[in-house]
Amino acid sequence: IMKFITLIASILPLAGAFAPTPAFTSSRLSTELYDASIQFVKGLEEKVVPDISMTRAVDGSSGTATFKFANPNVFDASTASQGEVTGMFLVDDEGEMATTDVNARFSNGKPQAIESVLVMKSPQEWDRFMRFMERYAEANGLAFTKAG
């Protein structure tokens, strides 16, 4: 798995995207991968799978991941009592990565979408993010598509 992650990290000098793949059928073949979740309210898993685009500096020193959620469940009336959005938290068996760069988009006064940006300031943070994405992709039936 580490060779695969290293390979992915080495072929992403410019940009890429994780997006849902309708034809993909998820079956967990490896016991090495664990569940990963995205939360806007601690303890409340976001059920909507985002579009994720990534950029990385050519020298690998930094990168960003932009998450776009259409009608996330954090806006549902049934979840309002669970708390307020305080950031975006990427949670897996290794721990948590977080960002407070979270913006909601409104239409007619009602929240419609969330866009959040995670900035990685070192190759180690990038590698950690890629390990999270491997777990999140496996758990949610996502596929990697390199930008052309």
DSSP E strand boundaries for the chain? 15-20, 37-41, 44-45, 51-56, 63-70, 88-92, 95-99, 102-107, 110-120, 142-146
Burial state string for 116-129 with b = 16 or more CB within 10 A and e = fewer than 16: bebebeebeebbbb
Average pLDDT over residues 62-87: 90
Q: Quick one: tokens of 26?
A: 């998820």
Q: Model confidence over 96-129: pLDDT tens digits?
A: 999 999 999 999 988 899 999 999 999 999 999 9
Checking if the pLDDT of 134 tops 60, the result is yes
Checking if the pLDDT of 9 tops 50, the result is no
Give the residue, 59 or 143, on which the prediction is more confident: 59
Q: Model confidence over 18-56: pLDDT tens digits?
A: 444 433 333 334 444 458 999 999 999 999 999 999 999
8 A C-beta contact, residue 87 and residue 39: no
* pLDDT for the residue 64: 98
Supply the pTM of this predicted model: 0.74
Checking if the pLDDT of 5 tops 50, the result is no
* pLDDT for the residue 148: 63
* pLDDT for the residue 27: 38
